[in-house]
Structure 1
Amino acid sequence: MAGRSGDNEVVEAAIPLAFTAAWASGINPYLLVFLMGILGRLTSLDVPVAFERTDVLIVFAVLVAIDAVADKIMWLDSAWDVANTAIRPIAGGVVALLIASPSVDLPSAVIAAGGGAVALITHFAKATTRLAVNTSPEPASNVVVSVAEDVAIVGVVITAIFNPWVAGAIAAVLFTVAVIVAIALAGTARAVIRNRRNRRRMPKQAPVAPPATGPESGSDERIGGA
């Protein structure tokens, strides 16, 4: 009983960090894993050992660079979101599970499932927001939103070093705000996309020829007058 109680305490203590990681995975799992690996090496943050491996850090550093470019280009960011639809929720569940417990028991499995759900919802909130942002004619908004997301991840994960519960609370607030904003923007995004599709389907009108002018027109008028 004492051992089981101790395991439950470990799992409960891991909940805020697991939630934070799941939220971050829904936005940018590559930055999350890379950042946690670096922090695991440099600080006392308890992260999965695999994240600290040099080969893992190199691979995820490359993925972070790719994401940094793809996530800031209009419409390419939405395509990137589609490509990551399965990756982000799975990453959220796996990272949450690794943080909760190295062995899969019922509480850890629940945390993993919850992490996957949080990451999935966050992913859809991000994708919806980006789709709405892409309806803006200027490209600067994509860069601003992308940088804000990355800064939020870095700030919250670093906060987790000092106080996981505070980091979890911040992640929960950001998660809620993201969902609310995405719901608010979803209608706008759908309306803009619908209008664009309708314009594409409209048949093109043939150009109207301008009225004839010049000597020939004048001669016709004189003939008519005669």
Structure 2
Amino acid sequence: MEWFSTLSLALGSAWTSGINLYATVTVLGLLQKFGFTHLPGGLEVLDNWWIIGIAGFLYIIEFFADKIPYVDSVWDVVHTFIRVPAGAIVAYAATNQTDAGMQMIATLLGGGLAFSSHGTKAAVRAGANLSPEPVSNWVLSLVEDIIAFIGTILAVFAPVLITIVLMIFLIFFVWFAPKIFRAVRRIFNAIGAIFAGKSFREIARKAP
């Protein structure tokens, strides 16, 4: 069952990377560094203090940026081009000691999971930014941080449980995918409004 543990770690970590990449890398690196686990494949490199330190520093920046209305959506747009490829890379690195077929499948699934979790996060934030009160941003951000931390730990120590979590998430994602994609499109339209001198909120509300 070692292949199952490796695959669940690869996919679970890719999924949490789509939610909070820096928290995922920090947790994996610390678990490896202090001997709580032995990460498979190329993930062993994450126990480097430079990597842990940089990831931790970026997590602190994201911790605050993610709780400011509209700034969080801009942050999500930028990280569309970071979290998704990173999720695929994490899955690729975790399975680099398996056969080529499994590694390719894990990489594709990892990228897909990172995209789906990132898209869901961004869509929920778009809706929150249109609400009249800012408290929801703080609550959502804290919930996302907790999910990223716990999800990464489950990916390392509870392969069956994280697999169940991923299956439940995918059912949810498929069910709500149309709304999620519409919300993501609203985000990009609203971000563009900033450069056009228009109201972020106005464009986000009117976008299809």
Same fold by TM-score, threshold 0.5 exceeded? yes
> Within 5 Å, which residues of 2 pair with 1:1-226?
10-47=2-39, 48-102=43-97, 105-177=100-172, 180=175, 183-184=178-179, 196-197=202-203
SS in 2 for 1:97: helix
The share of aligned pairs that are identical, in percent, is 29
More displaced stretch, 149-158 vs 91-100: 149-158
Quote the residue 2:193 is aligned against: none
Q: Distance in 2 between matches of 1:72 and 1:195?
A: 17
CA deviation vs aligned residue, 1:81-114 (integer Å, no higher than 9, x gap): 1101111111101101111124772220221111
Q: Relative contact order (C-alpha < 8 Å, sep 6+): which is higher?
A: 2
Give the number of equivalent residue pairs: 190
CA change 1:27–1:176 in 2 (3 A) is farther
Shift of 1:12: 3.7
Structure 1 stretches lacking a partner, 5+ long: 1-8, 201-226
Contact 2:69 2:134 in 1 (8 A): yes
Task: Name whichever of 11-20 and 72-81 sits farther off.
Answer: 11-20
How far 1:170 sits from its partner (Å)? Answer: 1.7
Q: Which one has a bigger Cα radius of gyration?
A: 1
Distance change (3 Å), C-alpha of 1:43 and 1:196: same
C-alpha displacement of 1:180: 4.4
Tell me the distance in 2 between the aligned counterparts of 1:188 and 1:84: 16
TM-score, structure 1 as length reference = 0.73
Runs of 4+ in 1 over 3 A off after TM superposition: 9-13, 174-190, 197-200
CA distance, structure 1, for counterparts of residue 163 and residue 114 of structure 2: 14
For structure 2, the 5+ residue unaligned runs are 191-199
CA contact 1:128–1:182 (8 Å) conserved in 2: no
**AA partner of residue 97 (structure 1):** Y
Deviation at 1:60, TM superposition (A): 0.4
Q: Give the alignment's TM-score, normalised by structure 2.
A: 0.79
